[in-house]
Chain A
Amino acid sequence: MATGDARVLLPPSVTNGDVIYVRAIIEHPMDTGFFRTAEGQPIPAFFINDVTVMYGDQQIAHFEWTSGVSRDPSVTFPLKATREAPVTVTWKDNKGGVYHQTVDVRFS
């Protein structure tokens, strides 16, 4: 497991018009900048500060985070499945890292 490993989870079966819960998880240390290592060196702040969720070509959600969100952040939010399209979550951190994860909504 390494920083930036991400998963976006959908329910196993989706029908048109359902409200589904999307769960997005990413591996990230979310360092606040206040902790020190065992040698006394400060750990610099390193956290995700911007998250966007795209459904097809439409942006449906945007989250603004600080270091106050827990390590390995996970969010669960409802989404109305109206069409078959990919859900893409993009995480951006304060050191310029950009992480993507995509999952397709398929009606069963």
Chain B
Amino acid sequence: MDELTGSLWRKSRALSLYFMDRRAFLALTGSSVAGLMLGHGPDDDEMTDEVKRVLKARFGDRTLTKAHVQFDIPENAPDGRFVPIFLETDLPQTPDHSVKAFHVIVDHNPDIYVAGFWGVPSIDTRIKMRRTSYVRAIAEMNTGELYVSAKKVFVTLNGCG
């Protein structure tokens, strides 16, 4: 009797270990696969020195706030020659407080300042990208505030040469 219960206990223990291991294994691989796919955390969009230099040349020492710019850009861009981008803000547009300009910066392009659009509350266009990098959209308000937003875009085909 003792032997039987003992063996049963051992068996169930082994079984539970097996399940735990499998679960742990699945959890581990799941997280590592997710980590590989994402490759970055939510706030992993530190500006490179080049971006900081361009921003300083254009805006001086004005502070940039991470808010209010909304832009649509595909997460995966198969063709770096045509990456559609749509820019707008979620702020109401009044004559006292409206968007003066939008600026687009792509971190790893040969010329990282891609375009500036003055006088439009939203813009829809297509840009080129050399390789996977962050795309930064900056909204300059007529009161002088600067809002910024960044998104990582995965590029397969080099569109810049």
Measured CB to CB, the residues of A under 8 A from B are 32-35, 53, 59-71, 73-78
Contact = CB atoms under 8 A, between A and B. Distances in A.
Contacts of B40: none
Nearest to B86: A76
Interface of B: 81-83, 104, 106, 109-111, 113-128, 159-161
Contacts of B160: 32, 34, 67-68
Given A35-B161, A61-B117, A63-B117, A68 B123 contact: no
B110 to A, nearest CB: 6
Contacts of B113: 66, 68
B58 to A, nearest CB: 11
A64 B113 CA distance: 10
Given A32-B110, A35-B161, A64 B116 contact: yes
23 contacts: A34-B110, A34-B161, A35-B161, A60-B119, A60-B120, A61-B119, A61-B120, A63-B115, A63-B116, A63-B118, A64-B117, A65-B114, A68-B111, A68-B115, A68-B127, A69-B114, A70-B81, A70-B82, A71-B81, A73-B126, A74-B126, A75-B117, A78-B121
Nearest to B113: A66
Contacts of B111: 66-68
